[in-house]
Amino acid sequence: MEFFEKILMLFMSLFGAIRAILFNNFDYKCRIPIMKEQEHINCANCNARCTSIFKNLTAEELVSISNATTCMSYKKGATIFQEGAYPRGLYCIQSGKIKIIQTGVDGKEQIVHLAHDGNVMGYRAILGEDTYSCSALALEDSNVCFIPKDYFNHLVERNGRLTLQIVHLLSDELREAERRITHTAQQPVKNRLVQSLLSLKQNYGMESDNITINVTIKREELANLAGTSRETATRVLYELQEQKLIELVGKKIKIKNEPLLIELAHLGH
């Protein structure tokens, strides 16, 4: 386990350095969580577990983690955890859509990650013995399971497979952070916005018509995801609609020509 712990600490240091480059001089606004406890679901029967870091736990470990877990229901817009707060435990999304944000001193939000079923949140703050560097807000009504910090640390110390899953997760997030630095510095706004649309599709899939992205998102949120202003994002969206690449229907977005969007997203790579 000593080897895994050293690897974890290395990734935590690297990720912290990358995040400092991407997002500095941030403050946070106070938000009040809107939540209620929901009926407990056994981890062994949770569909989201199949895509989470807990997918390889033994039957005995699943019973143990189920006994330690509390399941909560969060309304759309509710805060799950807040930037600057000390972590009390790990959050695992059973169902729903969550945006991970940082807030600047000017009050402007920057979406740094989109989370969905099976994703875990807050583990970096726990493992790094630090405060949360971001806030997590529900994009829609969501069910989230909470695992106390002490129990999670105990599980990581005893389970090498779980530790390796966390290393892989840190590696993926580090790679994504590096990609965002490059794209923000080198890519035009239109390319970044198209990449954000494709990222929404990849994270949340499509509705039954197979052309509508399965998430309701405000123009301001999409602009934050692409690293631009709401006015610029709106202008680019209407340009894409005029080119018949997308169709705007309220807060929903239909993808009309995905191959051309993919081609546009990769221009300049």
Residue-range domains of the chain with CATH: 2-177 (2.60.120.10), 187-265 (1.10.10.10)
d(CA 94, CA 46): 7
**Average pLDDT of the segment spanning 49-63:** 89
Residue 163, token pair as written in the block: 């530790």
Higher pLDDT, 135 or 12: 135
Residue 13, token pair as written in the block: 């240091």
Give the side-chain half-sphere CA count within 13 A for 4: 15
For residue 60, count CB atoms less than 10 angstroms from its CB and return exposed for 0-12, middle for 13-18, buried for 19 or more. Answer: exposed
Residue 64, token pair as written in the block: 């143990």
- Answer whether residue 7 shows pLDDT above 70: no
Terminal Cα distance for the chain, rounded: 39
The bridge status of strand 252-255 relative to strand 109-115 is: unpaired
Residue 263, token pair as written in the block: 């081609």
d(CA 3, CA 58): 22
d(CA 245, CA 201): 14
- Answer whether residue 160 shows pLDDT above 60: yes
Res 28: pLDDT = 35
**Average pLDDT of the segment spanning 214-237:** 92
**Average pLDDT of the segment spanning 39-65:** 86
**Cβ distance 167 to 11 under 8 Å?**
yes
Residue 111, token pair as written in the block: 């979406």
Residue 261 sits at φ, ψ, to 5 deg, of -65, -45
Of the ranges 8-22, 88-102, 215-229, which is most confident?
88-102
d(CA 249, CA 254): 7
Res 154: pLDDT = 92
Q: Which residue has the tokens 């600490």?
A: 9
β-bridge mates for residue 206, sequence order: 213
- Answer whether residue 51 shows pLDDT above 50: yes
Higher pLDDT, 171 or 151: 151
What pLDDT, in 10s, does the model give residues 82-102? Answer: 999 999 999 999 999 999 998
Q: What share of the chain is helix, strand, coil (3-state, %, to 5)?
A: 45, 20, 30
Residue 229, token pair as written in the block: 């202003």
How high is the mean pLDDT of the chain? 84
